[in-house]
Amino acid sequence: MRKALLLIGLTGFLVIGPAVARADDYVLTIKDHRFTPTELKVPANKRVQITVVNDDPTPEEFESHEMKVEKVIPGKSKATVRIGPLKPGRYPFFGEFHEATAKGTVIAE
């Protein structure tokens, strides 16, 4: 029964398709727990790939409920975040480890 359970569970959500690298590249930089630019324009209704560069020595968590992402970026490194397709509008994001200063908005248009 254990095997059957595992099998059902796995087929339930490992619906793995091929990874497609077709998103455009946009860059956000974290420095002194602030994002630059604070407003990033991206095309609406499209998959978008944002590269988040963390220039601080400390880790940060890039998070946005609106864009449905959360990703830890270790200090002095960069990470790729895939979002969208977004409807036109403003989508705030923040750095969870330094919420007071690390804030910004993605504008889909």
Partner 1 sequence: MLGALLIVFREVLEAGLIVGIVMAATRGVPERGRWVTIGIAGGVLGAAVVAIFAGAISEAFQGSGQELFNASVLGIAVVMLMWHNAWMARHGREIADEIRRVGAAVSEGSKPLTALAVVIGLAVLREGSEVVLFLYGIMAQGTSGSALLVGGILGIAAGAAFTALTYFGLLAIPSRHIFSVTTWLIALLAAGMAAQSVQFLNNAGVVEALGQTVWDTSWLLSEGSLVGRLLHILVGYTERPTEMQLLVYVAVLVVMYILMRIARPSPPRPMPAAAE
Q: Please tell me whether residue 23 binds partner 1 under the rule CB under 8 A.
A: yes
Which residue is it, tokens 């630059």? 36
The position carrying tokens 């200090």 is 75
Site track 46-65 with partner 1 (rule: CB under 8 A), x = hit:
-x---------xxxxx---x
Which of 24, 32, 77, 109 touches partner 1 (CB under 8 A)? 77
| 38 in Cβ contact with 105 (< 8 Å) | yes
- State the nearest-atom distance from the C-beta of 29 to partner 1, in Å: 16
Q: Which residues bind partner 1 (CB under 8 A)?
A: 1-2, 4-6, 8-10, 12-17, 19-21, 23, 47, 57-61, 65-66, 68-69, 71-75, 77, 79-85, 87, 96-97, 99-100
